[in-house]
Amino acid sequence: MKAIVYAIRTIGRELRSGEVLVLLSAVALAVAALTAVGFLTDRIGKAVARQANEVLAADLRLRSPEPLPAEWLEAAERFELETAETQNFPSVVFAGDESSLANVKAVSAGYPLRGKVRTANRLFGDQQEANDIPPAGSVWADGALMARLNASVGDTISVGESDLRIDAVLTYRPDQSIGFASLAPTVLLNLNDLPATNLVKEGSRVGYALLVAGRESDVDDFYADVEDDLPESVRVRNREDSSESAANASARAQKFLSLTAVISLLLSAVAIAMSARRFAHRRMDTVALMKSLGASQQFVITAATVQLLLLGIVGVCVGSLIGFAAEKILTSMLADLIANDLPPPGLQPVFLAAGSALILLIGFAMPSLIQLRNAPPLRVLRHDEMPPAPSRLLVAGTSLLAVAAMLYSAIGDARLLLYVLGGMLGVSIVLYATGRLLVALLGRSRGGVGIAWRYGLANVARRGRASAVQVVAFGLGLTVLLLLTFVRTDLLKGWQQTLDENAPNSFLINIQAHERDPIAEIFARNEIGAPDFVPMVRGRMTTIDGDDVKDIEFPTEDGKWMANREANLTWAAKLSETNDIVSGDWWPEDYQGDPLVSIEEEAAADLGVELGQKLTFTIAGQEIQLTVASFREVNWDSFKPNFFMVLSPGALDGFPATFVASLKVQAEERGALLEIARAHPSVSVIDLESILQQVKGIIEKATLAVQAVFIFTLAAGIAVLFAAVQSTIDERRFESAMLRALGVQRGTVLFGVLTEFAALGLVAGFLAAAGASILAWLISTRVFELEYSFSPLLWSLGLGGGILLVCLSGYVAARGAINAPPADVLRAA
């Protein structure tokens, strides 16, 4: 108890004297960086995920072939969730003497819960967001439907037994599919108008859906409440299969935010380790004096531990406030750029940052505290007398494992953690070994240079282990900064490729063979390059290696669904530029052998098929057997026609086929699409511009999150450099005072210190570039699934940045020590 009282009474004096400010600053900066990153990861990550849910028009969708039970709505109300209902079915609609098959979608008030419906006042006119659903007695009709019916806004169409006015052109709804399963254009009407149409009767094939949105925890609780009672026929979705680009953007942004959280914690660990070591070392003389006056080992260690914990708590509080304030400022700056309101921040980042900082603080300081307990009283007279050091590796390693467990619970990505932590450990070992080698080399050869150079290089050799530790600290800081810089660059580059200005923004579907030439002529008259017409045949899989697909137990539910649905098949002589073969071989362009099939790799995994297996499909009442020849990786982000199954040339000869096409159409050229819709009413013209804008919006928000978080991690990296310099500041102050007392000019001392830092920075920068290159390749290709290309710029930044940053941080941190009056320093020694 006396030790605790002593620690509390003396902590104020310690703070006033400034001895522990370095450690306090290191903890506060570490927590501030980690908290700010955590807040941004939490809030912006949720915002990106929320916008990704726009492709579902909700956070959760329950779709059923039966009317929705009242219990679902009651459960949603209990959990205070927003809800909307939809009913969906095909029907023929009429406008005068014209008629067309349409997808009738009736929606309740509140639809959509996520995203916005867009409409126009005329065909292919300017779009605007709708703030409500169609008013009673009116509909919003798809442009393709209006073209088929030769109708305009203001005309009346018949839907069942109801005559409804076309109030606007429906240009986009968040949950529309761009797949090929449904070719009929949509008419959107108020759910209250549906009974009067008399279209929904006993036995009608209607798809019912309940849309749910709200706080993530409430949505999860709602689903857990109804999950056990859901019939097998109900399909639950929390994201849409057709929105591959939106899902990729959101997932990659979340992974990058997780990566920055991990790296920020590692930087925090390095900064705390350097500062905690100095804290304990500075206590050594005080402890020796206390022990010479009769203080026990328990008293010494208890007092030091309590002071350390108090400093940690103060640092955590200050750092959390700084992190919260920084997040507030940044999110207010991003508010104008981000349309969605950001969700309120959770407390998890605070708990993670505080817990991690305290664990690291205790873990890295504990070896030195144990060493304090054994400080000999003789050190009062001989300052070089040091107690034996305990195993730092054991205590610090245990701390890192504990923090790794906390991180895993927070981000849930074991592979990412393994790559980063394993990579950093490997880089640290190489850095330390190289630092010791540098010390040995400079200890033997540093002659032939000026006094400042000799002084600087001698400092590196004389400090020995401390210099090697500084190389590790500098190298790790530079490694993670280079790593994040280039992973971020690759990530943004990948997104920019997704946002290719030449990406198709229009799809033409259900083109008959005889319509290809007339459609190409329409494009030619409007001076638009004709697209490639890709063939498509509908077929159903029946057997795999002779086993009926209904009797096979597939690896995933998606595989079961894929095997039992009607599939879109195509054939091609050349491999699409948006596809890559990952296993097997593509057939020659002039192939004329037995039918072969190339399968998209994830679909093959879901189906559990292997190369060489036989797949049987039924097409138009006839069977065709295909041999699996290869697996492909497909770039679904390209917005070009892509298929899970691509067959060899000639495999589908004689079967009825339709064609699809995609192309880029400028705003002033959209009249050609209207001409096609009217001249070929059976052709569906799908405008992808709204979907592209949605994907771009998600990617832009993800980009902002990446850029913002990177700033905080950069600050944490610079803090590590300062902490590394501060770890030897006492020695530098004494050495500078001695040299200046002996007549050496201040400029010479300063140049010598910069020489020392330049040598350390050069080695650290070189190894950091090497380590960052390996880790960037590993993380880019294995975690983010991006292409990685060697960058000479990384090595230039590693070498140049290493020297510049280390010298700059060294100058700023050591300037006070060099400028200190020699008499004051020597008098206090």
Tokens of 449: 């240079």
Write the pLDDT tens digit of every residue in 783-811: 777 677 777 777 787 788 778 877 777 77
pLDDT at 4 over 60: yes
Kindly tell me the number of DSSP H helices and DSSP E strands found in the chain. Answer: 22, 22
- The mean pLDDT of 757-762, rounded to a whole number, is 78
pLDDT at 178 (0 to 100): 47
Euclidean distance between CA atoms 800 and 808, whole angstroms = 12
pLDDT at 492 over 70: no
* Angle subtended at Cα 374 by Cα 369 and Cα 380, rounded to the nearest 5 degrees: 105
How much is the mean pLDDT over the chain?
A: 76
Higher pLDDT, 335 or 96: 96
Residue type at 207 in one-letter notation: G
Query: Which range, of 126-135, 143-152, 177-186, 611-620, averages the lowest pLDDT?
Result: 177-186
User: Cα-Cα-Cα-Cα dihedral of 27, 33, 37, 39, to 10°?
Assistant: 70
pLDDT at 457 over 60: yes
pLDDT at 705 (0 to 100): 60
pLDDT at 138 (0 to 100): 93
- The mean pLDDT of 192-200, rounded to a whole number, is 89
Contacts of 213 (CB under 8 A, 6+ apart): 53, 58, 59, 60, 81, 82, 83, 113, 114, 219
Tokens of 99: 């008629």
pLDDT at 181 (0 to 100): 40
Omega cis (within 30) before 112 = yes
Euclidean distance between CA atoms 373 and 295, whole angstroms = 10
pLDDT at 108 (0 to 100): 92
pLDDT at 665 over 60: yes
Most confident of 19-23, 191-195, 750-754: 191-195
Write the pLDDT tens digit of every residue in 697-737: 656 665 666 666 666 666 666 666 666 666 666 666 766 76
Percent of the chain at pLDDT > 90 equals 13
What letters, b where the CB count within 10 A reaches 16 and e where it falls short, cover 85-112? bbbbbebebebeeeebebbbbbbbeebb
pLDDT at 242 (0 to 100): 40
Contact assessment for residue 642 and residue 634, using Cβ atoms and an 8 Å cutoff: yes
pLDDT at 685 over 60: yes
Most confident of 121-135, 319-333, 451-465, 608-622: 608-622
Higher pLDDT, 268 or 570: 570
3-state helix, strand, coil in the chain (%, to 5): 55, 15, 25
Could you list the beta-strand ranges (E) of 33-132: 60-64, 82-95, 98-107, 117-120, 127-130
Euclidean distance between CA atoms 627 and 651, whole angstroms = 11
Write the pLDDT tens digit of every residue in 606-651: 999 999 999 999 998 899 999 999 999 987 767 778 889 999 999 8
Identify the bridge partners of residue 473 per DSSP, sorted by sequence position.
none
Write the pLDDT tens digit of every residue in 540-574: 999 999 899 888 889 887 788 788 878 889 999 99
- The mean pLDDT of 573-585, rounded to a whole number, is 90
Write the pLDDT tens digit of every residue in 235-267: 777 654 444 555 565 566 667 767 776 777 777
Percent of the chain at pLDDT > 70 equals 65
pLDDT at 358 over 70: yes
pLDDT at 752 over 60: yes
- The mean pLDDT of 27-31, rounded to a whole number, is 74
pLDDT at 135 (0 to 100): 92
Helices 414-444 & 451-463 angle (0-180, nearest 10): 120
pTM tops 0.85, yes or no: no
Closest CA to 307 of 364, 270, 361: 361
Confidence of residue 403 (pLDDT cuts 50, 70, 90): low
pLDDT at 748 over 90: no
Q: How remote is the C-alpha of 162 from its chain's centroid?
A: 49
Confidence of residue 414 (pLDDT cuts 50, 70, 90): confident
- The mean pLDDT of 493-502, rounded to a whole number, is 61
Identify the bridge partners of residue 511 per DSSP, sorted by sequence position.
659
Higher pLDDT, 57 or 584: 584
Contact assessment for residue 163 and residue 106, using Cβ atoms and an 8 Å cutoff: no
Higher pLDDT, 477 or 412: 477
pLDDT at 56 over 80: no
Higher pLDDT, 675 or 7: 675
* Angle subtended at Cα 506 by Cα 502 and Cα 510, rounded to the nearest 5 degrees: 135
